[in-house]
Structure 1
């Protein structure tokens, strides 16, 4: 991984074998980023993503492996109980052009990842919500 900061934006290159969420959390902690949003593209060899079942209050994920193009990745970094909290969604395409995705659990770069993390001046924490089972923004 390598990255450069330009004003409030971090342009990040992820390399083969690096995991996206883990790498972004590392950058956020190193740079003391408390609030930011993410956009990016790239190539992955493994993606685990899915949906949160709001009735059962559990995450239901799927894993795809092979040559996958990251069509888009987006989300945010903020805090929960003073700790870095990352929340990302991903869309990826296989060799046949089938696109799948959802809430990102894991994505391992196979070629490269080209990401832009834009820092926002401020802090937004999260708090667990019993009704939904989700960690929601708390202002």
Structure 2
């Protein structure tokens, strides 16, 4: 299992109509954050949430497009075996009636503001590989620890 330490914490505010997923990836690239724990909260104008169906190995998605609160969003920033960044996020949202839905965050658009916190994971490589038996990307077992 990957073992690392917390490095820098990068905080960014996303503005109306920005794409949450692509903006998190661009901020990570701009700030040279390779691996991170991702947290976010704020408001959304659109979100697509997914539920992974283990039987079919596919995501069932639902799009919501109304003023929504991003109650919680947490996930990881890793890389695949080619070095491409892989963002895996789960989100909980609520509507104006305080009904709550959650799932895998497929896409999202900022409503008024989204605050993002990237807590850098240092001292290890978080690499994900595709697991045929699960139909999902999983963490590769071997890691590289930096010398202290």
- Give the ranges of 4+ consecutive aligned residues of structure 1 lying more than 4 Å apart after TM superposition: none
Q: Are the equivalent residues in 2 in contact too, given 1:28–1:84 (CA < 8 A)?
A: no
Q: Equivalences for 1:85-96 in 2 at 5 Å?
A: 85-96=86-97
Structure 1 residue corresponding to 2:125, chosen from 119, 123, 126: 123
Match of 2:73 in 1: 73
Match of 1:48 in 2: 48
- Aligned pair 1:83/2:66, yes or no? no
- More strand as a share of residues: 1
Q: CA deviation at 1:74?
A: 0.5
Q: Are the equivalent residues in 2 in contact too, given 1:51–1:102 (CA < 8 A)?
A: yes
Match of 2:134 in 1: 132
Ranges in structure 2 where 5+ consecutive residues have no aligned partner: 1-6, 142-148
Tell me, what secondary structure is at the counterpart of 1:55? coil
**Matches of 2:33 and 2:39, distance apart in 1:** 16
Match of 1:4 in 2: none
- Aligned pair 1:63/2:53, yes or no? no
**Matches of 2:50 and 2:132, distance apart in 1:** 21
Ranges in structure 1 where 5+ consecutive residues have no aligned partner: 1-6
Cα RMSD of the aligned pairs, angstroms, is: 1.0
